[in-house]
Amino acid sequence: MYAGISTCKMSRGCLHPLCIQKMNAQEDYDASERAALVAAYLISSARVIIELDSEFTKYSAQFLVDYAGPKNESEQGEADQQSGLMTLDECIEYLEYIVRLEEEPGQGEANQQRPELTVKDCLECAFKKGMPKAEHWGHVGCVFKVPKFAAAIPRVPMKGQVIEAKTFEDAFKLLVKQPVGAKLHVFSPEIELVGEDGVYEGPSVAGTRYLGLRDVIWIAVEEKVATVRICYKKETLDVKVSLDRMLLALPGDGDGEETQLTEPTGLLVDFIVPRLSK
């Protein structure tokens, strides 16, 4: 197990101080981490539904952050071919790396710029490489690079394909069988003010701020309201979203000018699921 791997519950008392420092400085998970969290949840849900798992089992989102995407796959490909055993010299080298990172926190490999991952990237990685259970891997946001011996950590094989839907009609068909990944147009302060009983309808007042598209999990629908699960500012929220509201433009950055959309769009777009097979 590499540094910071000791808990999947994100208990700060069990995390390395550098990981806690990063978490304190970071208001929210980054886009890749959010995509990986959504993908891992979709995988876990699908496995229970088709009875590959007898109960909901958490699989590692951080594994997907570490391995998904073309750049990460090329960097980690050689490690996948290794036995996972480390020589004494390699153990000493990794310990020296941890010491250097503690002395100069910004120099770690895991802190270097990585391409932004999508839910699709993460699902494709899961089907290609399998996934370890969450308790066997580092927590989301771990600052340490993956050591060579991580190749020996058991992974659960994932067989299936990624299914995408662009229309509500096709997404409804997918939702009948399992939760659906999607992207939500997020506006502030509306997303903070909606509450448990309100319905999120996007921009409502002058001065609203567009935060962009955020990965969410569509878990239910009733009449013309969808219930989605979103990780926002590191909190998991269930938010009711209007399926009637259509956007014609998006607020601009700073100068107040709107960006006109080529066609009206709903608050939820870009639907995706992992279609698992036994």
Domain ranges of the chain: 12-158, 161-276
- Paired residues of 182 in beta bridges: 216
| Confidence category of residue 242, pLDDT binned at 50, 70, 90 | very high
The half-sphere exposure of 150 on its side-chain side, counting CA atoms within 13 A, is: 26
State the pLDDT at residue 261. 80
- Tell me the chain's radius of gyration from C-alpha atoms: 20
Q: Poorest-confidence range of 36-40, 156-160, 195-199?
A: 195-199
How far from 112 is each of 28, 107, 122, CA to CA, in Å? Answer: 18, 8, 19
Higher pLDDT, 46 or 261: 46
| Confidence category of residue 2, pLDDT binned at 50, 70, 90 | very low
How far from 53 is each of 14, 158, 184, 272, 276, CA to CA, in Å? Answer: 28, 12, 29, 21, 12
How much is the average pLDDT of 21-38?
85
Instruction: Quickly list H helices, the chain.
Output: 17-25, 31-49, 61-67, 70-80, 88-103, 119-129, 168-175, 190-193
How much is the average pLDDT of 28-43?
94
Residue 254: pLDDT over 60: no
pLDDT tens, position by position, 195-235: 888 999 999 877 788 999 999 999 999 989 999 999 998 88
Residue 34: pLDDT over 90: yes
| Confidence category of residue 102, pLDDT binned at 50, 70, 90 | low
| Spatial contact of 171 and 180, defined as CB atoms under 8 Å apart | yes
Residue 258: pLDDT over 80: no
Q: What's the pTM? A: 0.84
State the pLDDT at residue 185. 96
Mapped onto helix, strand or coil, the DSSP state of residue 260 is strand
State the pLDDT at residue 57. 97
